[in-house]
Amino acid sequence: MTALEQHAADYLQIRRALGFKLERAEKLLAQYLAHLDTTGQDRLTVENALAWARLPGAGVSGSWWAFRLSVVRSFATYLHAVDPAHEIPPADALGRRIRRSVPYLYTEQEISALMAATSRLRGQLRQTTYRTLIGLLAVTGMRVGEAIRLDRCDLDVGNGLLTVRESKFGKSRELPLHPSTVTALREYLRVRDAHQNAQGSDAFFISPAGTRLIYCNVHATFRQLRADAGLRPRSPVCRPRIHDLRHRFAVQTLLDWYRDGVDVPPRLPLLSTYLGHTHPRHTFWYLQAAPELMAIAGQRLEAAQEPQS
C-alpha cells in the first residue's frame, strides 16, 4: 500500500465513523490514486486532479466532472491538513458547482410503464427482480442501496414487516408493509428460490448469477427500462431517476394525508422515520417541486385569509 492509499484508507475510516457510507467515493478515489500511480505522481495537485476528473470516458457531463472533482477535493482538504504540500482544487475549478436535480415525480401510469418494461429484460428471474424492486421502491420510499442490501431474513411475512439494517448514519428501522406488498415479495421469493443459482445466497434480490445486485448495474438497467417505458426529461435538470421513486413516495404520502384531512405537521416525524431520516428537516427536500402540494398550500392559505362570517 502506498502512502497516498494509506491516507485514503484513514480518511474513509474517519468519514465512515461519522456515518457516511462513501461507497462511490471509495471507488472514485481508488481510480484517482491509480491514475497518479500510473503517471508517476505522489502528490495531489490542482493540475492532476483536474486532468483526472476530465479523463476521456469519464462522461461528457460537466456535472459528472464536477462530482468527480468534489470527491478528490474532499480528500484533498483532509490530506492538506496532514501535509500542506498537497493542493486543494478550487470548488469552482470546472466552472460550475454540483446542483441537486429537480425531483421527477412519477405518475401511477409511469410507474406501471416502468414495471411493464421489465418484460423486455432477458430471463424470468431478471424480469421479476426488477419489477419487484421498482414496485418496492415506489411503495416504501427506500433508498436503492437499502433495497439491494436486504437479506431474505429481513422480511417478516407473518407480521408484514421489512427490516432495513445499518443504513445511512448507521440507523436501522422496520417498515410496515401493505398486504399486497407482502404478497408481491412472497411471489418474488418463489421465483428467486426456484432459480438454479439461488442456493447459498443470503441476498433478497439476486442476479441471474445468484449474486447480490450491484448498485451501478441497477442504475444501468433502470436507464434501459426508462427508455423502453418512453420516459423523457421534463427539463435539463429534471430527469427520471430511480432515486425519484423515493421523492414520489414522500410527496404522495403527504398528499394522501392532506386529502384525508389529517393534521400533517405532527405526522412529519413519522414520515421522516419511515424514510430513514434523522430529523424532519431532512424530509423537506423530498416535498418540494410538487405542483399538487403547492395547490393544496394555496387553497389552505386562501381559506385562512377569508373573512369569517
Q: What is the pLDDT of residues 139-190, one digit of tens each?
A: 999 999 999 999 999 999 999 999 998 776 667 899 999 999 999 999 999 9
Task: Decide which of 252 and 62 is more confident.
Answer: 252
pLDDT-derived band of residue 255, with 50, 70 and 90 as boundaries? confident
Q: Give pLDDT, residue 285.
A: 63
How far apart (Å, rounded) are the C-alpha atoms in residues 304 and 309?
13
For residue 263, pLDDT over 50 is answered with yes
Sort 102 into a burial class: Cβ within 10 Å, 0-12 / 13-18 / 19+.
middle
Q: Give pLDDT, residue 200.
A: 86
Q: Give pLDDT, residue 58.
A: 46
The answer to whether residues 168 and 19 touch, using CB atoms and an 8 Å cutoff, is yes
Which grid coordinates are listed for 179?
398486504
Q: Give pLDDT, residue 277.
A: 80
Sort 15 into a burial class: Cβ within 10 Å, 0-12 / 13-18 / 19+.
middle
- Give the residue carrying C-alpha cell 441471474: 208
Q: Give pLDDT, residue 39.
A: 93
The answer to whether residues 287 and 250 touch, using CB atoms and an 8 Å cutoff, is yes
Over residues 93-146, the pLDDT tens digits come to 776 555 666 788 899 999 999 999 999 999 999 999 999 999 999 999 999 999
For residue 65, pLDDT over 90 is answered with no
The answer to whether residues 127 and 230 touch, using CB atoms and an 8 Å cutoff, is no
Q: Give pLDDT, residue 178.
A: 96
Alpha helical stretches, state H, 101-154? 108-117, 124-140, 144-148
pTM reported for the whole predicted model: 0.70
Mean pLDDT along residues 3-28: 85
Instruction: Show the CA angle centred on residue 113, arms to residues 112 and 116, nearest 5°.
Output: 85
* Terminal-residue alpha carbon distance, the chain: 78
Instruction: Specify the length of the chain in residues.
Output: 309
Long-range contacts of 255-259 (CB under 8 A, 24+ apart): 255/290, 255/292, 255/293, 255/296, 258/293, 258/296
For residue 251, pLDDT over 90 is answered with no
Indicate which residues carry an active-site annotation: 143, 168, 243, 246, 277, 286
Q: Give pLDDT, residue 106.
A: 94
